[in-house]
Amino acid sequence: MDAVDATMEKLRAQCLSRGASGIQGLARFFRQLDRDGSRSLDADEFRRGLAKLGLVLDQAEAEGVCRRWDRDSSGTLDLEEFLRALRPPMSQAREAVIAAAFAKLDRSGDGVVTVDDLRGVYSGRAHPKVRSGEWTEDEVLRRFLDNFDSSEKDGQVTLAEFQDYYSGVSASMNTDEEFVAMMTSAWQL
């Protein structure tokens, strides 16, 4: 294991010790730090951001991580690639049940879930804000979809975005059986 891999393991362990929201919380925090919307941070921004969350890296560790996920040689860390690498790997059983849930939602079969796909699977009519007239049913479905969407919130969720969301959930569950049971129940698979 090289130094960057060891640093990633250290960060992963620190995040997972915070429970299910550890990596997701880190992702939210980094997106707030990314003031220019570039979806990248330099080594100093990265290290200071981690320190604010109580996750400590020295300068050499931060620079090594930034170099590993510097996709365009700009000297900055690509946040999405870094966060994807930070999440623990999932077993085939977990990946299969996530793919099954996605397939259920992707009614058109085009590899992207949209409000139109959701409309065919779920109804938002009983949502309190729809009942009060504050939101339309499509607004409820869009907000539901936004939970799985990347930071761009383009109204389209790919399998990769769905897997990213559930990899954060997966990290907080000890066994494949527990995760598969939760997904099967939640998505009525």
pLDDT tens per residue across span 120-156: 788 889 999 999 999 999 999 999 988 887 666 788 8
Q: Could you tell me if 120 and 74 lie in one domain? A: no
Taking alpha carbons only, the member of 138, 139, 140, 158 closest to residue 149 is: 158
Low-confidence ranges of the chain (pLDDT < 50): none
Q: Could you tell me if 177 and 99 lie in one domain? A: yes
Q: Could you tell me if 53 and 120 lie in one domain? A: no
Q: Could you tell me if 119 and 140 lie in one domain? A: yes
CA 74/CA 77 separation, integer angstroms:
9
Domain of residue 153 covers 92-187
Report pLDDT for 20: 53
Q: Could you tell me if 81 and 98 lie in one domain? A: no
Say how many domains are in the chain.
2
Structure tokens that stand for 125 in this block: 């009519």
Report pLDDT for 21: 61
Report pLDDT for 45: 82
Report pLDDT for 164: 80
Taking alpha carbons only, the member of 160, 164, 116 closest to residue 141 is: 116
Taking alpha carbons only, the member of 51, 4, 56, 6 closest to residue 29 is: 51
Q: Could you tell me if 81 and 129 lie in one domain? A: no
Q: Could you tell me if 74 and 119 lie in one domain? A: no
Q: Could you tell me if 101 and 82 lie in one domain? A: no
Contact 165, 150 (CB under 8 A): no
Structure tokens that stand for 57 in this block: 């890296």
| Final residue in a domain of this structure, among 68, 86, 104 | 86
Q: Could you tell me if 98 and 182 lie in one domain? A: yes
Report pLDDT for 32: 78
Q: Could you tell me if 79 and 98 lie in one domain? A: no
Q: Could you tell me if 60 and 99 lie in one domain? A: no
CA 76/CA 137 separation, integer angstroms:
41
| Final residue in a domain of this structure, among 57, 86, 115 | 86
The CATH number covering residue 30 comes to 1.10.238.10
| Final residue in a domain of this structure, among 34, 54, 86 | 86
Report pLDDT for 169: 83
